[in-house]
Amino acid sequence: MQKEFGDAFASVEDTTFTAKYRAGCHCQAVQYEVSADPVDAKICHCVVCQTLHGAPMQWAAIFHKRHVRITRGIAQLRFYNSARQQYERILPCKVSCAVCGTLIADEGRKMWLAFPSLFDFGRPPQVPASFTPTCHIFYGMRVMDMHDDLPKWSGHKNKSVLL
């Protein structure tokens, strides 16, 4: 199953993989681990995220897929390509749990844009500095103003204008 899911991900048989953080959906049918800190973290204000997440914005922490391994529930993963409006694993796509509906990540070709709200950071949560957002993206589509010092890009980071 792991092989069918994709060679881009770390394997559960990889003995060199050391879990640094663990994440799971609301019902825990889907669980996964990452072996590294995210390479970046962003807040996305795009309309697609607003709609699919039922929230004013989305917080994503970006990992290389080789640092991610699904430890439970690969068969429970559901995929949705928002650009084509198809429930298929056409990358990039949204990944969710078929059982409880939790949105788990945006899966790109090489990267895994994890939703840190699913991570176990302890109680009370101690969010590592590496998960702190470095910018807002698609801020031109915002439904809420953010009063912080982070750069606010109209679209993608470094590929749009600063607002």
Is the Cβ of residue 10 or residue 97 nearer to Zn ion in the bound state? 97
Instruction: Work out whether 62 is an interface residue with Zn ion (CB under 5 A).
Output: no
Report the residue from 41, 43, 46, 105 that binds Zn ion according to the rule CB under 5 A.
46
Is the Cβ of residue 25 or residue 34 nearer to Zn ion in the bound state? 25
Instruction: Work out whether 70 is an interface residue with Zn ion (CB under 5 A).
Output: no
Q: Give the Cα separation of 126 and 120 in Å (integer).
A: 9
Q: Which of residues 3-42 bind Zn ion (CB under 5 A)?
A: 25, 27, 29
The closest alpha carbon to 44, from 59, 54, 34, belongs to: 59
Q: Which of residues 85-114 bind Zn ion (CB under 5 A)?
A: 97, 99-100
Instruction: Work out whether 52 is an interface residue with Zn ion (CB under 5 A).
Output: no
CB 65 within 8 A of CB 6: yes
Give the neighbor-by-neighbor strand order of the sheet with 93-97: 77-80, 93-97, 103-107, 111-114, 58-64, 40-44, 135-137
Q: Compute the least distance from the CB of residue 48 to Zn ion, in Å.
A: 5
Instruction: Work out whether 75 is an interface residue with Zn ion (CB under 5 A).
Output: no
Q: Compute the least distance from the CB of residue 100 to Zn ion, in Å.
A: 3
Contacts of 68 (CB under 8 A, 6+ apart): 9, 10, 32, 33, 34, 35, 112, 114
Q: Compute the least distance from the CB of residue 18 to Zn ion, in Å.
A: 25
Contacts of 59 (CB under 8 A, 6+ apart): 41, 42, 43, 44, 115, 116, 117, 133
Is the Cβ of residue 36 or residue 99 nearer to Zn ion in the bound state? 99
Is the Cβ of residue 10 or residue 44 nearer to Zn ion in the bound state? 44
Contact residues for Zn ion (CB under 5 A)? Answer: 25, 27, 29, 44, 46, 49, 97, 99-100
